[in-house]
Amino acid sequence: MEILVRRLASSFSTSLARSTSNFPTRFPSHIGSLCSFSHSSVTTEGDAAVNCLGFRTWHNGGGTFHHSASIDPTAVVEIGAVVHSNSVVGPSVHIGSGSVIGHAVTIGQSTKIGFNVALSNCNVGDFCVIHNGVCVGQDGFGFFVDEQGTMKKKPQMLNVKIGMNVEIGSNTCIDRGSWRDTIIGNNTKIDNLVQIGHNVIIGDCCLLCGQVGIAGSVTIGDYVTLGGRVAIRDHVSVGSNVRLAALSCVTKDIKEPGDYGGFPAIPISAWRRQVAKQSQASRKK
């Protein structure tokens, strides 16, 4: 009897193995054209899984990074953030969820990056703060009409260089250079919703208030203050120690330090006289 039971058990296990072999045990090995879902599509290196595109999960925060990126062990990459190939992330850097660090971007030590930030074609210095929604390193706004009347895009191939201890407010955009790098100097502070065009150079210790717009190829010296919604036209130079009142528009070079205001921007005393005259004229009417 015992021998009969053993034979029945062996026959049952053999038939079960044959029946299960007729069913797929894995997902299809190829879906679309991106990657394979077979067992060879995920490997392990150390403690991190590497997917078919070469990305791993960062141990400190749960974010994703490319295997060719160099990230200091003390850096935090939050879940949902992505660090792309050949990027360098320094010690004590914090990258918030939803942020994307593009190919070959460098981030200096102790820099804090908020949520949904996009960094590409740029180098960021030490001790910077980049708030939510900032975009750095995208193409500048450069176009021309060719001989056939077709609108063509000018090449935008250079980078953005951000100095040390720079703070950039939410939803500010800084374009990459076309004929020279876009540069933000050390200790400069930029408010929310500021637009900085391609090839702009901003010196050290500048203050840019909300909704400032700086067109391409502008050069700004050190210790310059731009009030809210100041506009600066392209290819203009603003010297050091200049302060511009809110809503001013710079249409030509400002070489002398001092306070300026109006449209076009002129020395503040002359602008105030203009405003007083206009006020008196309106009262007489």
Query: How many residues belong to the chain?
Result: 285
**Which of the residues 84, 94, 131, 198 is marked catalytic?**
198
- Could you write out the three-class secondary structure of the chain? CHHHHHHHHHHHHHHHHHHHCCCCCCCCCCECCCECCCHHHCEEECCEEECCCCEEECCCCECEEECCCEECCCCEEECCCEECCCCEECCCCEECCCCEECCCCEECCCCEECCCCEECCEEECCCCEECCCCEEEECCCCEEECCCCCEEECCCCCCEEECCCCEECCCCEEECCCCCCEEECCCCEECCCCEECCCCEECCCCEECCCCEECCCCEECCCCEECCCCEECCCCEECCCEEECCCCEECCCECCCEEEECCCCEEHHHHHHHHHHHHHHHHHC
Q: Is 66 a catalytic residue?
A: no
Residues tagged active-site: 198
